[in-house]
Each structure stands twice: as structure tokens, then as C-alpha cells.
Amino acid sequence: MDHTEQQKALIQWWKMSSRDLPWRQTRDPWLIMVSELMLQQTQVNRVIPKYQHFIKKYPTPKKCSEAPASSIIEAWEGLGYNRRAINLHRTSRVIVETHYGKVPNTLNDLLELPGIGPYTARAILCFAFEEDIGVVDVNIHRIISRVTGKALSPLEMQIKADNFVPAGEGWIWNQALMDLGSDVCGSRSPDCGRCPIMSHCLWKGEGPDPAKRKTSFSNLNQSFEGSDRQGRGKLVNTLRNRRVFLSELEKVMGWNGDPERCRRVAAGLIKDGLVEYDDKAGYGLPS
């Protein structure tokens, strides 16, 4: 496979087809971190207004660290997966206390921050510090699986992703791959005829899809109804507006007749730092 031709074709396509996203207008590592945490399992169109509002209010780790955790959770409304808000708040405090208010620029230091995993750490290194490093999100994972024509282990996938990055162009290369996966090389209906690197693809839309996973997103969505995660979300959403007494827990969480489950799930929220409980005042967001 001629990587050079593949790289040129994709970058040229991206320059003509790129999406205008607000976090692509900055190299500020804090703003990139905020966008990456918001984008985890949340659609881009939902993230854009939340991101723009958040960075106006909390443009630096210091501003975020000085705010009460409850304010960060409130600003996260509508994005789901509220644990990400708490992790971002905790991370801002670590950055201020340990890194003089600046987001670290090494993989090891980033991985030590609360809620920052291998993908997010690499995304920050690439999109903020412009390192030539492979960033493997769900879109890039799908493209590389199809281009190579086989399912790869996480380590093999990361090595392939790193090797595909053209020298000095890690930022544009990973952005291009993400847009290709979003716009052309989709999960369900890939438009191979529009793909700028189809000639380099070993799958080409024929035969079993090497990118298919055992668990589909539709199954994940179906399992959300009635799940613990749904109950967690209902409680946190209510707490954004008011406190909740213990006697109201079943109604708020949607599990009438199952007080044990309500208390267990609420206890998990307390353990995660998303909720506080007081015998007199009931449940509330952390101060």
C-alpha cells in the first residue's frame, strides 16, 4: 500500500470537505480537553452550543477549579454521562495544583489526570500540541479496520494509526479521518463511491465488514431504557433545579416500589462525587 498517495488524497479531500467546528479554531489544550470530554458518546450538534457556553464561563482550568462542582454539573445539562463533568472539575484542580494551571503535554502526565484515558490524552497531544500521533476514535477505528481488511487488537490498531500519520501533519490527518468516518465511511451505509482512499482500501464494501463489532449501538440504546444509568440521569437532572428528599427518590428516579434500587444507585452517585446527601436536606449537587 502506498501510504504517501493515500495521505495526499485524503488531505486534499478534507481541505474541500472539512466541517467548521469551533474546537478546530484553537490549539488551547484546555479548550481541546473540554471539547473531547464533551464529545465522548455525544453527537457533535448537541456539543457545539454547550461547548461554546462552557468555555465562555470557564475559559481556563483555574476558572473551572474555582467554581463549585455543582456549577459544572449544571453547565453539563443535556450532554449526559455526568461523571465526565465531575472528572473535568477534578482535572482542573489537579492542573492548577500540580501543573501551575497549564494542561500537561506528555502522555504519562495526561493519563494521570482524572477521567483522561488513552484516547483523550492522545487527542489533546494531537489537536492542541500538534504531535504526530494516531488518534483512534470510533470513526478512525472503523476506517483503519476497513482499509487493512481485518479486525485488529487495540495495540495493533494504535500502531497502525501511528504509522499512517504523515510527518508534520498529525493534526490535519486525524481531523480528515474523523470527517471521512462521519461523512463517507459510515457504520451502516458507507458511500464507497465518494471515498478519496477507496483504491487503497482492502474491503471496498464487499464481503463481511471487518469493522463490525459484536454489540451494536442500537442494542446499547435499547438497553438504556430502565437502566441504572437512566435513573442516575433522572436524579441528577432534577437536582440541577432543586434538592430531592429521600421520600421522593422512587418517583424522581422512576422506580416506584423499588426503594432499595433507588438508594443503591443514589449511593453510587454519591461515591462518584456527583451527589451529596444530608439527613435533613436530602439529596443535592456537591458544593
Provide Rg for the chain, Cα atoms.
21
Domain that holds residue 39: 28-127
Residue 203 lies in a domain: yes
Would you name the residues annotated as active-site residues?
36
**Side-chain half-sphere CA neighbours of 172 within 13 A:** 16
35 & 102 share domain: yes
36 & 106 share domain: yes
**Domain holding 249: CATH number?**
1.10.10
Residue 62 lies in a domain: yes
Last-in-domain residue among 80, 97, 127: 127
236 & 205 share domain: no
Q: What is the share, in percent, of the chain residues with pLDDT greater than 70?
A: 95
| 33 vs 5, more confident | 33
| Cα dist from 270 to 16, 197, 263, 276, 283, whole Å | 48, 48, 10, 6, 9
Mean pLDDT over 105-129 rounds to 95
**Would you state the pLDDT for residue 192?**
95
Residue 219 lies in a domain: no
Residue 121 lies in a domain: yes
96 & 233 share domain: no
| Per-residue cell: 271 | 461515591
> For the chain, how many structural domains are there in total?
3
For the stretch 26-35, pLDDT in tens is: 999 999 999 9
Give yes or no for residue 44 having a pLDDT over 80.
yes
**Would you state the pLDDT for residue 48?**
96
* pLDDT-wise least confident of 15-24, 26-35, 88-97, 258-267: 258-267
Mean pLDDT over 71-95 rounds to 92
**Would you state the pLDDT for residue 4?**
85
Nearest alpha-carbon partner for 61 in 52, 77, 72: 72
Mean pLDDT over 209-219 rounds to 63
7 & 40 share domain: no
Last-in-domain residue among 97, 127, 157: 127
**Would you state the pLDDT for residue 1?**
43
144 & 198 share domain: yes
Mean pLDDT over 161-165 rounds to 95
Last-in-domain residue among 191, 213, 235: 213
User: Read out DSSP for 178-217?
Assistant: HHHHHHTS-SSS--GGG-TTGGG-S-TT-SS-TT--SS-H
Instruction: Please give the backbone phi and psi of residue 113, each rounded to the nearest 5 degrees, phi first.
Output: -80, 145
What does DSSP say about strands 282-284 and 276-278: parallel, antiparallel, or unpaired?
antiparallel
Non-local (6+) Cβ contacts of 57 within 8 A are 63, 75
197 & 166 share domain: yes
39 & 120 share domain: yes
Torsion sign (Cα): 139, 145, 151, 156: negative
84 & 101 share domain: yes
Residue 182 lies in a domain: yes
User: Read out DSSP for 253-266?
Assistant: HT-TT-HHHHHHHH
Give yes or no for residue 51 having a pLDDT over 60.
yes
**Domain holding 69: CATH number?**
1.10.340.30
E-only strand ranges, 89-224 = none
* Residue 58 three-state SS: coil
**Domain holding 154: CATH number?**
1.10.1670.10
Instruction: Give dist(CA 284, CA 244) in Å, integer.
Output: 7
Mean pLDDT over 219-247 rounds to 79
DSSP category for residue 242:
S
45 & 113 share domain: yes
Residue 218 lies in a domain: no
